Structure 1
Amino acid sequence: LRQGEATQAQIAPHSPFGQVPVLKDGELMIWDSLAICEHLAERFPDARLWPEDPAARAQARAASALMHSGFSALRSACPMALDQAPAPIEVTDALAADLRRLATLWNLMLDRHGGPFLAGSWSIADAFFTPVASRLRTYELALTDFGGGPEADAYGARLLEDADFRAWEADARAEARAAV
């Protein structure tokens, strides 16, 4: 379902606050995406969901927190739409400011940690920015137009090549077709 399409009745049995995502781990219910990621990183340390290097880990956490609480113009102007064909949108001043911030962040982290992901190897930070990469593709927004280097656009494309993302996208498209 697209954001906003799920009804309160569909979500209520799974989330006391009427919001998604929610993780149910036995009797434990966690209703915040960043808290879910922290729980999973602690529960499955061998998965190395955060970088081992303390500096890379700190920056990956900071980037995740920034995505978690920021980029409101990007989220508002460019809702998640995995089943939507690419279509350009009008870039407002607020959206342009968010895209410049995003370009700066991706440039900084890719340069500092050498890629191919924000903190070097894949981490929770990349999971947080995969929906952003999807929004950039859906609304035909290139970070090179907002101060990003070609590495930033390549990073976004790399996130969308991930097998787990492609499966999620295929499921969303199949659900959209079934709903018609």
Structure 2
Amino acid sequence: MTPQEEIEALIARVAMADRKAFRALYSRTSAKLFGIALRVLKDEAAAEDVLQDVYVRVWNRAGAYRSNGYSPMTWLITITRNAAIDRLRKARREGVAQEPVEIAERLYDTAPGPAQQAEMRDEARALNVCLDELPADRAEMVRRVYLQGLTYQELSDQSGVKLNTVRTWLRRSLMQLRECLSA
């Protein structure tokens, strides 16, 4: 699997609220995205804040990612660059070079609260209902790749199905899931 395919797979898993995939995506991409934010803002603290905002956006919008032949890094870089430019424009409008980080912001607990946990449980239930609508073998493939972390190649080897067929089935299954979840 190419690095591009791995990042696309991680984004797809993030779209299904897979925290392990989110951590992996962060570890693979954060250094480059931080560098981009730093180049635009020229301030490490501001770049860190933008990077945090970027990953919140990625978590919330991963389901909207569509490759369409574009690199997933292009999508992530565009989000980062736009967020950094927006922050820079906001600081200029307010006449502030860069706003200092308040201690309260550093102490803010980012763990999901009870309402967010309930919402995540509802989303998980909806996902399971939609997975049940897929043929059993395809639902199992989706679970093994996007929830258990198998690569396409590992799934192909284990199932005896050709790699390109696995990719096609997974792509079609994800499209069906997206349609089901949006209904």
Q: In which range does the TM-score fall when normalised by the shorter chain?
A: under 0.3
User: So what's the TM-score if we normalise by structure 1?
Assistant: 0.25
User: So what's the TM-score if we normalise by structure 2?
Assistant: 0.25
